[in-house]
Structure 1
């Protein structure tokens, strides 16, 4: 049977994954993060009446334990699902993983009975649930439906790391000795911010706070009117640190020219105010969590690059590592990630991918050696 190796970051703004089949040819898969519970009859009607054909990740829905859920683009565009940021990532990770594996299986004709090596990133606050999640996903993968077709896979290897674990395993220069120094890993995402402290090779502290970039976007939304969160997020990032009025004009393009200038000015003021307020909250939290005597601060995440200059100043007391080596590897292998400015947001899960593959090879070598030993004993 075939083998699928997949790592997943069930992010609040984007569902991200890297995978490879038997032959080592890494591929990137991206899906919208929304999940919507939908009656089976409605999904069956969607399949019957849709016009055209899309990639399976863009028309994904799963059926498991008498519950049907649309995932990704289908959930967002057809069923107008929201991000459900109030829920733990752990709660929504199961349908996301099932949908992603189902989509990959359909794209590559992965037969039922194939083996799965799965890696996943969870916030430190949910990392304690990894054993439960492993049990749930093992059972679910053994029997579920993707777009009405039965799927059955065997989870042979499961690896869960707290957010930041991927860049810790691959984001440092070769030869760097974790066992001699202290490190802080700072992950700034859309929903959460996380910190990991490693002292002489062992993790001494981890903490997650729901203080991601979405807090700033929600603040802008409260100070304006009629703006969609997803669209607003994209335009704020595009406008950059200067809050370019030209970029923000996109949000008022449908208004009458008489009102457009006033609306853009209003949005720009809201963005500037919200950014100042958000940075105040973010920097205060980081000051409390990151000791000033750490040897190195490793920083990653899309939010981190939005506040890069401020973070450089905040952590000027330590050596800063922006994971440039890992980002360069990522951009060279996946130019489309750089073109979409995703390289900053993919480094953690990209690092986890190589860690999972290496662990799978070690496990296989160990099993082969054990088998030879057993044969030799006869």
Structure 2
């Protein structure tokens, strides 16, 4: 691997108390290009723009997908990743569906570990703090032909992150738009999935909702996801969540929540979640919580659900009463090395770059 360190690192100007998620980037990025049927030499280089043509196939035909993951720093300044092999496996499920080349494990894992080790000083420490990591692959061949590209770039960039959606939000249950369809690419983290969600979300925002609960494309009878998150519903003391399919992303946070709930002895039902059943549970007083989970947000608690001409205002629960918040704490305590990790999810990033410096 080629490592080209920045001659003008920006870490000294990073203000932990005043930064924006998503547009503050660490000093370096990882790049590896694919051409002539093989991957080239991986490279870590200073973060910055890369020149591309408007004829690049990823822009014109949408061969692009990504992952979302995080690095955490504990009180001793040790750095940890969370279940990185799940992200490696999933990005290759996405590349397969989009007819892109599989990313070799050594390129993914070594690039990830080396980049995070090199820029570990960018990882903020404290409650809700982390480094959000974006592995992304896209077609780079410059040709206007609707076919599979012959050239690709795999990159990893990262941005410091703090808690957001900290306050409960209002969401609209969609009865017209859908996120994905049977036989489509809903299970993949395809870039186009997110572009298609923006317009319905904009309409929901104009009605006073922060997000959308996506429903099935046939009759809008079943919950699927919420915004960019997997969705959970608590009726009495049972948790319900839609089963994964070719329409629903197999979320790492989703899977972790299910396992943590089962460890607590909470019943989790994985299957169809009918809109009708959720509304009926609200009407009879058994609907306790609805929330979304994902890497960036971890947990977003919903304070109300908009459905057709109704607004269903959910109960206000304490942190101890809330399954959503209790499970979030269980998860973040494992991620930040505040609790034992009985599942083997935490992955320590060893100090290697600094030792060689």
Question: What TM-score comes out, normalization by structure 2 length?
Answer: 0.30
- Decide which structure has greater helix share: 1
- Decide which structure has greater strand share: 2
Question: What TM-score comes out, normalization by structure 1 length?
Answer: 0.29
- Higher-Rg structure is 1
